[in-house]
Amino acid sequence: MSERVVVTGSSGYIGGQTTIRLKELGYHVIGIDVQSCPQRLRSYQDRSFQEDYASRFALDLIADSQPLAIIHCAGTSLVGPSLLDPERYYNNNFVKTKRLMDHVRVRVPKTRMVFSSSAAVYGEPVMTPCHEVDPTLPISPYGESKLMIEMLLQAYQRAYGTDFVALRYFNAAGADPKGRHGQNPAATHLVARVLEASLNQSMFTLNGNDYPTPDGTCIRDYIHVDDLADAHVRAMLPETAPGIYNLGTNSGHSNLEVIDTARKITGIELTVAQGPARVGDPAQLTANSEKFRLATDWKPKWTLEDIIAHAWRWYRDGV
Ligand X SMILES: NC(=O)c1ccc[n+]([C@@H]2O[C@H](COP(=O)([O-])OP(=O)(O)OC[C@H]3O[C@@H](n4cnc5c(N)ncnc54)[C@H](O)[C@@H]3O)[C@@H](O)[C@H]2O)c1
Active-site residues: which are they?
142
Q: Is-contact 292 298, C-beta < 8 A?
A: yes
Distance CA 237, CA 163 (A): 11
3-state secondary structure of 224: strand
Minimum distance of ligand X from residue 117's CB (angstroms): 7
Beta carbon nearer to ligand X, 67 or 269: 67
Q: Strands, E, within the chain: which ranges?
A: 4-8, 28-33, 47-50, 69-72, 112-118, 163-169, 171-173, 204-207, 219-220, 222-224, 243-247, 253-254, 272-275, 284-285
Query: Residue 255 is which amino acid?
Result: N
Minimum distance of ligand X from residue 275's CB (angstroms): 22
Q: Is-contact 168 131, C-beta < 8 A?
A: no
3-state secondary structure of 318: helix
Minimum distance of ligand X from residue 19's CB (angstroms): 11
Minimum distance of ligand X from residue 160's CB (angstroms): 23
Provide the binding-site residues for ligand X, judged by CB under 6 A.
8-9, 11-15, 32-35, 52-53, 73-77, 92, 96, 116, 118, 169, 171-172
Residue 154 burial class via C-beta count within 10 angstroms: exposed 0-12, middle 13-18, buried 19 and up: middle
Minimum distance of ligand X from residue 251's CB (angstroms): 17
First to last CA, the chain: 34
> Closest Cα to residue 272, out of 197, 163, 199?
197
3-state secondary structure of 204: strand
Label the pairing between strands 253-254 and 219-220. Answer: antiparallel
| Closest residue to ligand X, based on beta-carbon distance | 12
Minimum distance of ligand X from residue 157's CB (angstroms): 20
DSSP 169: E
Beta carbon nearer to ligand X, 191 or 270: 191
Residue 214 burial class via C-beta count within 10 angstroms: exposed 0-12, middle 13-18, buried 19 and up: exposed
Minimum distance of ligand X from residue 265's CB (angstroms): 20
Beta carbon nearer to ligand X, 101 or 159: 101
User: Cα-flanking dihedrals φ and ψ of residue 119, to 5°?
Assistant: -60, -20
Beta carbon nearer to ligand X, 75 or 242: 75
Cis peptide before 81 (omega within 30 of 0): no
Beta carbon nearer to ligand X, 57 or 160: 57
